[in-house]
Homo-oligomer: A and B are copies of this chain.
Amino acid sequence: MKRFDGRETSELRPIKITRGYTRIPEGSVLIEVGMTRVICTATVEEKVPLFKKGSGVGWVTAEYSMLPRATQTRNQREASKGKLTGRTMEIQRLIGRALRSVVDLKKLGERTIWLDCDVIQADGGTRTASITGAYVALVDAVNYLLTKGLLKENPIIDSLAAVSVGKVGGVALLDLAYEEDSKAEVDMNVVLTGQGKFVEIQGTAEDIPFDREELNKFLELAEKGIHELIREQKAALQVL
């Protein structure tokens, strides 16, 4: 069986990771996963949120947004509405949590790394692309701190990437495009470390609940996809 775009069930969309996409931030990455494109920037700020002040420990946090016309119909800006949607909050909490899991915050020292993920084109999988791209921006920001002598030791513990899996028409698929996502029976986002361990798993049965066997199938697809994504991250990090 072929998918609508010619992919195999266990095939990722083409990935492209561009470092140094804008010139100002400590880390700036454009990640493209098929038609999905996200600008991920990392900013170093020499202070921490109130609840960490004086602890000597650092913080990593994320914000996520979409340009109004990243999607087929224009969405009202959250800045105009005056508040973030639940979806945005959920996604930016997920991205921040995932990236903190591979950083030794004590080694980072009392500073914050902000990861801004701005979707300029959305075709499914924007949250997982954000995590995968933000990881690369984070590495660049840490390299900046190491080069400047502001950090003595690398606080990054492991590599990290994320991918979506799902069930469409009864078939388990890796890396859903919007076309597939919008009619998926199950939608699952998985975040794994370079060592193949789980950092986050979020699975939702949209219509038809799934069983343990199906879950195992989803996780195998995710492991395969993330293995490839981490290879792409490594390749991108060797350039430059």
Contact = CB atoms under 8 A, between A and B. Distances in A.
Given A82-B82, A84-B79, A101-B209, A67 B197 contact: no
Contacts of A120: 22, 39, 118
A67 B79 CA distance: 12
Interface string A199-226: 1111111110111100100010000000
Contact of A198 (B45, B71, B199, B210): B210
A80 B101 contact: no
Interface stretch (A1-9, A51-59, A87-95): A87-95
A164 to B, nearest CB: 14
Given A35-B23, A116-B69, A219 B209 contact: no
A208 to B, nearest CB: 8
A170 interface: no
A43 interface: yes
A74 interface: yes
A68 B197 contact: no
A37 interface: yes
Interface residues of A, number: 65
A202 B205 contact: no
A201 B199 contact: no
A83 interface: yes
Contacts of A240: none
A78 interface: yes
A90 B202 CA distance: 12
A210 B219 CA distance: 13
Nearest to A205: B199
